[in-house]
Amino acid sequence: MSDERIQNTSWVLAVLYSKVGRFDEAEALQREVLNLSKEIRGERHPDTITASNNLALAYRNLGRFDEAEVLQREMLKLSKEILGERHPDTITASNNLTVTYRDLGKFDEAEALQTDVLKLRKEILGDRHPDTISASNNLAITCRDLGRFDEAETLHTDVLKLCKEILGERHPDTISASNNLALTYCDLGRFDEAEAIQREVLKLGEEILGEHHPSTISASDNLALTYCDLGRFDEAEALQREVLNLSKEILGERHPSTISASNNLALTYRHLGRFDEAEALQREVLKLSKEILGDRHPNTISAGSWELSNLYYKLGRLDEAEALQMDVLKLSKEILGERHPGTISASSNLALTYRNLGRFEEAEALQREGLKLRKEILGERHPDTISVSNNLALTYCDLGRIEEAEALQTDVLELRKEILGERHPDTITASNNLANIYGDLGRFEEAEALQADVLELSKEILGERHPDTISASANLAITYCHLGRFDEAEALQADVLSRRRISLGEKSLDTILASSDLAVVFRLQGRLPEAEKLAAEVLQLRLELLGDKHHETHLACYRLAAVYYDQGRFNEAEAQLVSTLDSMRNILGINHYKTTATMLLLSKVYRSLNRIDDARELLVAAEPAIFNALGIVHPQYLELQETLSSLPAHGSVSDATVPPHIPETSPTTQTPLTTDPIMGEKGSRNLVVTTESILLMVTLTSLLGFALYMSRRRL
């Protein structure tokens, strides 16, 4: 066999290896092709340049983006010198470099080069040529990366229109264009429109390509993720199970698409509260990603390590979450660089864990740095930049800096209204968070008005059964409690509990939270036997599902103790609080607001038991923690001073009034507050990004897309 035939055979085999996810073998063969081409034709021959391009694509698949960029830059320079700037192969080289820029988070450079590619293709090939349409598609995707969703929608709509006119409605490229437009609708929060398109995409895929075709399977996966957006997790799970089984059967268990399908199913298990199944699947995803892609591949870091750390976070295993997130951040810095969006995201997610550990100053420092970098790299109006501002505002709440939180959250809301529109789910989330801040400031009438708007919009846009709509009802119920409208609060909270039982089951953490909140309403109504029964059930379930060290178990102990306190069962309240406080100190530290809230309630129990010295000792210990962490204007500090002043100087209880137990009015009450993680929670959607690989007379379009999507996370 001649060297030329060996070269061609190796190239074809390398392409096949890439298709089945055997990227190391593909790279080795592409190196062999390149070396042969250099020997036979020389370094400046067009075929050698093409071989370099193909090796660069192999580097991309392996996550070696820096090496890919170096090779592609060199190849582009040679193409310009030898073939000229307007040669199709030179333009293709520019196109492929833009995709690597996106991988590296260099979105501005990607956009500039893609604009040039599109301009040249329009001039040389015309507006209606498939390569011109492909260039428009890629520019639209970069607009999405830059948070310019309206521009992306316009471009994707134009691409779809041209594909229909030129190729017909049933052509695979037309179907791909529909898929990309649907994903942009998801970015814009228009999930119903996205679902309608994705259903049509799936139907056409099944008719034209068959149910077992990889593109059809990808269409099913994307539709399942939109079901998650719509809160229809049972439908999502059923479809994702089918996707995973088909991927295993057709592509094999070790193919990247199969691993991605496993990852997405694991995320849905988490939404359904099936944490054991989620963890088992997530561990398998991480193991396979490490074996196939390597420990340092960006997909291993993002879809494997980070998602597992987020699961630990959900389960209250905060130390494990922190350790894994620190590894993710370290690797991201080494592999992608400190200014890559993925690295900044890793830093932001670590900050969320610091918040839950009560390390608010560390969380604030990370979030401030992340916000500074986001503004520099993506601009002040990018959705990711706004999300970091949102999370920083919540940290200000934790620190008791409520006025700063209000100012920042107001900015977040205004920006989201301007950029995403008033009806986008992220805008509604910002309204919800601002309403909660109004509650922290004691401005309950304003909180109620805003929460009522949030609830109405959620019902209109997401539907009455969507988890975010149900959460909006729960938040409004809490505000009704603060306003003394207990009957309205009870009706709303009972409805929340009923809906969560139906949609998520009795053992979902969100269902248990609804039971816990209803128990608080019963206590405030003076219906203490009912409150005790429900609070005890909540504690038992949380112990069973989460263990005695989880922060939600701590809250359950605290709330049951509060019922005992109201019933005058002070010894039982003390027993509950002492064990809880010991665990909180060990896990969260003395400065965490949940720890200090527990100390305040226990001090009142001691006061009622005539253990004045114990009460005073506890309050004295809590005072610097509350002062340093929350400040003197925080409700906890005011409650502490009132309780201290009620204690007699010495001896037995005087006739001074014992301060009543105050329902949780610190950040612990804003349940649920919404934070915006920068990565995760949604799995990877199958986005069509076009790179072009050319060898001799053969043209291959490689559809290699891996995109992590952002969503809201509820604490």
Domain borders along the chain are 1-126+684-715, 464-546, 556-681
Given a contact cutoff of 8 angstroms between Cβ atoms, the answer to whether 362 and 350 are in contact is no
Reply yes or no on domain 1-126+684-715 having CATH 3.20.20.10.
no
Cα–Cα dist 619/602, whole Å: 9
Q: Which residue has the higher pLDDT, 658 or 444?
A: 444
Confidence tier at 713 by pLDDT (50, 70, 90): very low
Q: pLDDT tens digits for 632-650?
A: 877 888 999 999 999 987 6
Q: pLDDT tens digits for 579-604?
A: 999 998 888 788 888 899 999 999 99
Assess whether pLDDT exceeds 90 at residue 371. Answer: yes
pLDDT number for residue 628: 83
pLDDT number for residue 706: 20
Dihedrals φ, ψ of 359, to 5°?
-95, 70
- Over residues 258-281, the mean pLDDT reads 89
Confidence tier at 233 by pLDDT (50, 70, 90): confident
Confidence tier at 23 by pLDDT (50, 70, 90): confident
Q: Mention every residue, 6+ apart, whose C-beta is less than 8 A from residue 313.
A: 321, 352, 353, 356
Among the ranges given (28-42, 162-176, 307-321, 483-497), the one the predictor scored with the smallest mean pLDDT = 307-321
pLDDT number for residue 673: 29
- Over residues 39-53, the mean pLDDT reads 84
3-state secondary structure string across 367-418: HHHHHHHHHHHCCCCCHHHHHHHHHHHHHHHHCCCHHHHHHHHHHHHHHHHH
Mean pLDDT score of the chain: 84
- Over residues 138-152, the mean pLDDT reads 91
| Residue 87 per-residue DSSP state | S
Sign of the four-CA dihedral 65, 71, 75, 76: positive
Question: Which residues make beta-bridge pairs with 694?
Answer: 699
Confidence tier at 147 by pLDDT (50, 70, 90): confident
* Backbone angle region of 335, left / alpha / beta, with phi > 0 → left and psi within -120 to 50 → alpha: alpha
Helices 402-420, 383-398: crossing angle, 10 deg rounding: 160
pLDDT number for residue 712: 23
Cα–Cα dist 443/429, whole Å: 19
Cβ atoms within 10 A of the Cβ of 96, count?
A: 26
Local structure of 684: helix, strand or coil? strand
In terms of Cβ atoms closer than 10 Å to its own Cβ (0-12, 13-18, 19+), residue 501 is: middle
Q: Which residue has the higher pLDDT, 379 or 661?
A: 379
pLDDT number for residue 598: 95
Q: One fold for both 464-546 and 556-681? A: yes
Helix (H) / strand (E) containing 443: none
229: nearest Cα among 201, 189, 178: 189
Percent of the chain with pLDDT over 70: 88
Q: pLDDT tens digits for 671-688?
A: 322 344 333 334 455 544
Confidence tier at 35 by pLDDT (50, 70, 90): confident
Assess whether pLDDT exceeds 70 at residue 402. Answer: yes
pLDDT number for residue 21: 66
- Tokens representing 514? 């609804």
In terms of Cβ atoms closer than 10 Å to its own Cβ (0-12, 13-18, 19+), residue 417 is: middle
| Residue 168 per-residue DSSP state | -
283: nearest Cα among 258, 302, 260, 266: 266
- DSSP β-ladder status, 690-695 and 698-703: antiparallel
Among the ranges given (407-411, 439-443, 568-572, 620-624), the one the predictor scored with the smallest mean pLDDT = 439-443
Highest average pLDDT, of 262-266, 653-657, 709-713, comes from 262-266
Assess whether pLDDT exceeds 50 at residue 655. Answer: no
The distance from CA 576 to its chain's CA centroid, rounded to whole angstroms, is 35
pLDDT number for residue 20: 64
Q: pLDDT tens digits for 601-635?
A: 999 999 999 999 999 999 999 999 988 877 787 78
Q: pLDDT tens digits for 493-519?
A: 999 999 999 887 888 888 999 999 999
Given a contact cutoff of 8 angstroms between Cβ atoms, the answer to whether 376 and 369 are in contact is no
Highest average pLDDT, of 13-27, 253-267, 299-313, comes from 253-267
Cα–Cα dist 657/645, whole Å: 10
Assess whether pLDDT exceeds 90 at residue 391. Answer: yes
Local structure of 304: helix, strand or coil? helix
pLDDT number for residue 686: 52
pLDDT number for residue 202: 96
pLDDT number for residue 14: 72
Domain 556-681, CATH homologous superfamily name and number:
Tetratricopeptide repeat domain (1.25.40.10)
Amino acid at 393: A
pLDDT number for residue 8: 65
Assess whether pLDDT exceeds 50 at residue 707. Answer: no
pTM of the model: 0.75
Cα–Cα dist 435/445, whole Å: 10
Reply yes or no on domain 464-546 having CATH 1.25.40.10.
yes
- Over residues 153-157, the mean pLDDT reads 96
pLDDT number for residue 11: 67
